[in-house]
């Protein structure tokens, strides 16, 4: 695996060096290391846990941007540390065509509804949690075709997502006490996202809508099931002098099946005892305030997400997080971010089963070049 990673990195460097002299070429890199104390308060009957975490993998990166005429490209590789096998993986790989009234993107990029916060402590990921699962709509980086018009409108066809056929089969058999063994998954449409991003003097707004569908079928039962998921969101940021406010608000259906990371199991569609699909109603938000105290920036934020299945007997399953940190520049492209974060995963969908609470404090060190 290490030889493959080294070969991939060497090939990428060779491509960079082979860029035509007339093309614009802008390489960059970022090294990130966290040192955090993780204190986990578990439900009664389970021992609490406390660990020192020094995450490095998955977050450091090396990339480059290219431009030749009206065609531009972006390549970014993630560099995993020793704890993740010293491997290299693809983060961004896309090209864009500027056709005058807008651009067409082809390749792997962030999804239009992703709007991260300034939270840097470990959470769902080992570093830089960004309120993922707590109001931030994180769908990672996905293959897509996306058109961005100069007037602010955009539309994207994104790789569809959903539970695997094996997972759907297991869920169906558990709910119905059946023994189905031939569940199959059919992909019929890409994930579709449309929206409008408007920028004014100190205000940015990005409302949008996305839809995802997946079909499952069993020939033995002569049945099929559609699991539809959708997302309505409004992301934004406003500058108010020394204070910037940033937010993300959303509502939707079956957001676990949609592909949003770190949502509770209640955010997925489920089968009832009769073998019918029961949907889940989801919502969430986060609000962040950033105060500029030259040369530092103080960030505080609160995030919340919930889901409630239509399955009989289920209640709202919610989770929340809040943090405070301070970005401190040490040198021109070197800064540290001391932070304390709290994660409250609330009670289970039965309204009784208590889940974990976590307190994390420490510092992120980042060097860009």
CB 321 within 8 A of CB 124: no
Mean pLDDT of all residues in the chain? 89
Query: Which residues lie closer than 8 Å to 134 by C-beta, 6 or more apart?
Result: 123, 262, 284, 286, 303, 304, 305, 319, 320, 321, 343
Task: Kindly state the average pLDDT of the residues 20-25.
Answer: 66
Give CA–CA dist 15/95, Å, rounded: 15
Report the alpha-carbon angle 272-277-280, nearest 5: 95
Q: Give the residue among 18, 23, 35 at the shortest CA–CA distance from 366.
A: 35
Residue with tokens 């955010």: 267
Give CA–CA dist 52/257, Å, rounded: 33
Structure confidence at residue 345 as a pLDDT band (50, 70, 90): confident
Give CA–CA dist 354/257, Å, rounded: 24
Residue 267: Cβ-neighbour burial (10 angstroms; 0-12, 13-18, 19+): buried
What does the DSSP 8-state code read for residue 21? T
Q: How far is CA 243 from CA 14, 235, 288, in A?
A: 44, 17, 10
Domain span including residue 137: 2-368
Backbone angles phi and psi of 90, in degrees to 5: -80, 125
CB 282 within 8 A of CB 268: no
Q: What is the pLDDT of residue 218?
A: 93
Give CA–CA dist 96/355, Å, rounded: 45
CB 77 within 8 A of CB 93: no
Q: What is the pLDDT of residue 268?
A: 92
Q: What is the pLDDT of residues 58-92, one digit of tens each?
A: 678 999 999 999 999 999 999 877 666 778 889 99
Task: Kindly state the average pLDDT of the residues 230-247.
Answer: 97
Q: What is the pLDDT of residues 299-331, one digit of tens each?
A: 999 999 999 999 988 888 999 999 999 999 999
CB 231 within 8 A of CB 158: no
Give CA–CA dist 165/171, Å, rounded: 10
Report the alpha-carbon angle 326-299-241, nearest 5: 115
CB 83 within 8 A of CB 57: yes
Q: Give the residue among 262, 319, 322, 255 at the shortest CA–CA distance from 118.
A: 322
CATH number of the structural domain spanning residue 278? 2.40.160.10
Q: What is the pLDDT of residue 125?
A: 77
Looking at per-residue confidence, does 236 or 128 come out higher?
236
Q: What is the pLDDT of residue 227?
A: 95
Instruction: State the pairing for strand pair 184-186/191-196.
Output: unpaired
CB 232 within 8 A of CB 251: yes
3-class secondary-structure state, position 83:
helix
What does the DSSP 8-state code read for residue 42? P
Residue with tokens 């993780």: 38
3-class secondary-structure state, position 170:
helix
What tokens were used for 240? 């108010």
Domain count, the chain: 1
Q: What is the pLDDT of residue 20?
A: 54
**Quick one: what percent of the chain has pLDDT higher than 70?**
90
H or E element at residue 77: strand 71-79
pLDDT of 333 > 90? The answer is: yes
Q: Where do runs of H (alpha helix) occur along the chain?
A: 2-17, 165-176, 255-258
Give CA–CA dist 102/241, Å, rounded: 31
Give CA–CA dist 237/246, Å, rounded: 4
Give CA–CA dist 81/88, Å, rounded: 9
């Amino acid at each position: 695996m290490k030889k493959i990673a080294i070969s991939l990195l060497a090939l990428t460097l060779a491509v960079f060096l082979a860029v035509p002299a007339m093309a614009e070429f802008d390489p960059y890199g970022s090294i990130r290391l966290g040192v955090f104390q993780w204190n986990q308060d578990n439900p009664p009957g389970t021992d609490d846990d406390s660990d020192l975490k020094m995450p490095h993998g998955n977050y450091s990166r090396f990339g480059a941007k290219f431009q030749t005429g009206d065609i531009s490209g972006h390549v970014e590789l993630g560099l995993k540390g020793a704890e993740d096998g010293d491997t290299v993986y693809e983060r961004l790989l896309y090209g864009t065509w500027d056709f005058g009234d807008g651009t067409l993107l082809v390749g792997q990029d962030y999804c239009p509804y992703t709007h991260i916060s300034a939270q840097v402590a470990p959470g769902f990921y080992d570093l830089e949690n960004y309120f993922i699962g707590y109001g931030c709509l994180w769908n990672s980086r996905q293959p897509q075709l996306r058109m961005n018009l100069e007037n602010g409108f955009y539309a994207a066809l994104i790789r569809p997502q959903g539970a695997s056929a094996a997972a759907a089969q297991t869920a169906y058999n558990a709910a119905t006490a059946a023994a189905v063994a031939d569940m199959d998954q059919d992909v019929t449409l890409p994930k579709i996202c449309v929206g409008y991003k408007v920028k004014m003097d100190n205000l940015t707004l990005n409302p949008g809508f996305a839809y995802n569908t997946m079909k499952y079928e069993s020939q033995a039962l002569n049945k099929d099931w559609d699991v539809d998921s959708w997302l309505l969101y409004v992301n934004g940021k406003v500058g108010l002098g020394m204070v910037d406010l940033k937010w993300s608000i959303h509502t939707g259906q079956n957001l676990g099946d949609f592909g949003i990371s770190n949502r509770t199991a209640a955010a997925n569609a489920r089968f009832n005892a009769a073998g019918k699909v029961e949907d889940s109603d989801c919502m969430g938000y986060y609000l962040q305030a950033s105060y500029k105290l030259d040369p530092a920036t103080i960030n505080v934020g609160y995030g919340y997400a919930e889901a409630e299945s239509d399955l009989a007997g289920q209640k709202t399953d919610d989770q929340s997080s809040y943090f405070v940190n301070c970005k401190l520049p040490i040198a021109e492209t070197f800064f540290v971010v001391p932070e304390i974060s709290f994660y409250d995963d609330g009670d289970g969908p039965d309204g009784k089963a208590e889940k974990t609470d976590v307190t994390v404090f420490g510092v992120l060190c980042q060097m860009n070049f």
